[in-house]
Structure 1
Amino acid sequence: MAIHIKSPWEIERMTETGRLHTQLFAELEPYIRPGVTTLELDTLIHKAMTRLGGQSPQIGYRGGGSVPYRYATCMSLDDVVVHGFPSGRPLREGEILKVDFAFTYGGFTTDMARTYPIGKVSPEAEKLMRVTEEAFWLGLEYLQPGNRIGDVGHAVQEFVERKHGLWCVREMVGHGVGRGMHEDPQLPNYGDPGKGPKLRPGMTLAFEPMVSLFPAKMVILNDGWTATVGKGNLAAHYENTVLITESGPRLLTGSQRTVPV
């Protein structure tokens, strides 16, 4: 495992990438509503990336030997956890949409994801989205220099599963990010305290709780990408890129919490 500790100059560049990445989400959000297609949303984001002078590292990316990914974003509905393809089907009232994409600017990449209700959603979906975001903010408090990655995953798992009766997806994890879209170390949303690599100032991590309503083994569909926890289940996703500093974690994407822990 080769964990890259970012220099002050690299951190400065990643801070700018993260600022623009957050701006992209802000531009997208007013368009997320029933009747809009996820392909339209993907096109909007891709054009905005180009306008800002950045690129999508996802287009042409090969994951695990699969066919290259073709879109600037992942648009995942309901039971799909991640890597859903944008499509021409209009969004429907009551669905939940996960928007997840990386953004590269000036040679540095950040990663960010959010889950959105499409119109009015079920109480179960509302709880799932709320707990997933709360899990992010809770776990963020454990991203302290000197802690270990297992401390973070354990805190998230206890909060999601023991306190709220939901399920941390096991098959997808957070990761380092910066010079590349995926760097060491991996950052699971479960684990044992005191285990795993030690957190150090200068690490930049894509921290991303992924939570489902019911325990399930995630499977990849025949397209080689779409990751689902099964029909009748629901999944939510909340992700930011985080810098570990001497005084604690600092967000490089997103803003402060919108829900209390």
Structure 2
Amino acid sequence: MFKRRRPAVQIKTAEQVELMRAAGLLVGRTLELLRASVRPGISTLDLDTVAEQHIRDHGGVPSFKGYHGFTGTICASVNEEIVHGIPNGGKVLRDGDVISIDCGAIVEGWHGDAAVTVPVGEITPELRTLLDVTETSLWHGLAAGRAGARMTDMSHAIETYVRSQGPYGIVEGYGGHGIGTEMHMDPLIPNHGAPGHGPVLEPGMCFAVEPMVNLGTKDTVELDDGWTVVTGDGRYSAHFEHTFAVTPDGPRVLTALDEGREWFAKLGITASA
């Protein structure tokens, strides 16, 4: 009987991590531009156009466009749509909506990948709390991504924080992943589970961590378009993501403009220098 080997995790050199930082900065700045562009009356296709123009104007290539036939530069998922929403000129944002914008870019062959969920106009306090809980859970997951930890330590940190905040649905079957010369690489990083499992984290490993949290059930349905994933009960969802590198000094968040220092300071954690 043969023991099944875990897939190898790509290790980057310091120079390669810097190239990933360039891709990550481009993604981070694109998301800031998109966040500022979100308003009632704009379509998800309008946002997609803004993203593609910005990425290409700054020397990058959209990661998502053409990926397994996907037609957009961003995934634009509105309200009950969790992930992989296809940009559409007929999908116009309204006051009170929330939109998850997932964006990826390639610079010199290296990928960055991140997502934010943005309120459209005024949203309810319940939705505001959902966004806050999901984003904070992301940072708890990132903070657990230290050299010597195990992969599911990040999963457990995300789940533990979300469970402490209320009866939210943590999406299963979708999650974070390795990233580098490809957008999606081994391993898959779930947003739930026991700690202490999976590969030991080593400097030079890079991962995208991305919790998806629903107001109601964790159940999901994939629509007939073959991409869009929605909540099983029609209630709203939130999604946040960052790409980070494991370093000897702590996690370095490659898609955050400040590399995560502000958020890690809130959590009482020292980020990588």
What stretches of structure 1 of length at least 5 have no aligned partner? 63-67
Which residue is equivalent to 1:37?
Answer: 43
- The residue number in structure 1 matching 2:73 is 72
- Matching residue of 1:92: 94
Supply the AA of the counterpart residue of 2:186: D
CA contact (8 A) 2:105 2:111 kept: yes
In 1, distance between residues paired with 2:169 and 2:147?
A: 27
Shift of 1:27: 2.1
| 1:185-224 aligned within 5 A | 185-224=187-226
* TM-superposition CA deviations, 1:116-163 (whole Å, max 9, x none): 000111121111100001101112221111111111111211211244
| Runs of 4 or more above 3 Å deviation | 255-261
Deviation at 1:234, TM superposition (A): 1.1
How many percent identity over aligned positions? 38
2:66 to 54, 57, 60: 60
1:253 — aligned with what?
Answer: 255
Compute the TM-score of the two structures, normalised by the length of structure 2: 0.90
CA distance in 1, matches of 2:33, 2:125: 27
By how many angstroms is 1:172 displaced? Answer: 0.6
Question: Matches of residues 207-246 of structure 1 in structure 2 within 5 Å?
Answer: 207-246=209-248
Quote the RMSD (CA, aligned, Å).
1.5
TM-score, length-scaled by structure 1: 0.94
Cα distance in 1 for partners of 2:92, 2:253 equals: 33
Aligned to 2:4: none
Question: What runs of 5+ residues in structure 2 fail to find an aligned partner?
Answer: 1-6, 268-273
How many angstroms apart in 2 are the aligned matches of 1:51 and 1:6? 27
Aligned to 1:110, the other structure's residue is in SS state strand
Deviation for aligned residue 1:202:
0.5
Aligned length: 256
User: 2:147, 2:29 → 1: CA distance?
Assistant: 28
Structure 1 contact 171–218 (Cα < 8 Å) conserved: no
Instruction: Give the SS at the match of 2:113.
Output: strand
CA distance in 2, matches of 1:155, 1:54: 33
SS in 2 for 1:44: helix
1:26 aligns with 2:32: yes
**1:6 matches 2:7:** no
